[in-house]
Amino acid sequence: MSPCVDLAEPLRIRDFAGSLGEYIDYLESEYRAIVGDPGVTLWGMPVRAEGGQAADGRDVCFWHLITRQAPGGTENDRFLDLFRASLVPRVRDLLERLARDDPRACWWPEREKHGRSSVHVASVDFGLHVVLRRAGPVFMLRTAWPLVAHGTRARLMARAARGWEADGSR
């Protein structure tokens, strides 16, 4: 696994002294430290969760961060992905670094589409990528994922890294 500069270590279930339910509860507390009150604030705007609540009362966004879509499935066909789940502390750490203007966190805006604008956040080694959507006076946490070696996301990150290296971090 990429070291992601020196972000918080992933919290793997094998390193957690508790049940699967307690592990998920802990990850949710890390998630709440991002989107809760007070949570993370970027450029004077709080980060909040995109989407509503799932049937169990947890945020849909939380479940999105710790699960993955089944191959050939829909957004409703997701399953627990322990690798993605282990990265929630890193997501928090990366966004907190951005809030402090830490140079190890870089960001770039996405061109506005359909009246929506997004901000992409990455560690400077592009080992972790977080997407936020601007919604009035807040940022909505949409998704986060680790660096991937191939496919569309890999090409997007390679292009972003080249642009960041050419222009420097914002």
- Taking the C-alpha atoms of residue 139 and residue 146, their distance in angstroms, rounded to an integer, is 20
Instruction: Give the torsion through C-alpha atoms of 25, 30, 33, 34, to 10 deg.
Output: -120
Residue 75 lies inside a defined structural domain of this protein: yes
Q: pLDDT category, 157, cuts 50, 70, 90?
A: low
Residue 4 lies inside a defined structural domain of this protein: no
Residue 6 lies inside a defined structural domain of this protein: no
What's residue 30's pLDDT?
Answer: 97
- Taking the C-alpha atoms of residue 158 and residue 152, their distance in angstroms, rounded to an integer, is 10
* Higher per-residue confidence, 48 vs 114: 48
Residue 2 lies inside a defined structural domain of this protein: no
Residue 145 lies inside a defined structural domain of this protein: yes
Q: For residues 1-5, give the mean pLDDT.
A: 55
Residue 7 lies inside a defined structural domain of this protein: no
**Per-residue model confidence as pLDDT tens digits over 48-98:** 999 899 999 999 999 999 999 888 877 778 899 999 999 999 999 999 999
Residue 142 lies inside a defined structural domain of this protein: yes
What's residue 164's pLDDT?
Answer: 56
Statement: the pTM of the whole predicted model exceeds 0.75:
yes
Q: How many domains does the chain have?
A: 1
State the residue range of the domain holding 163. 13-167
- Residues belonging to the chain: 170
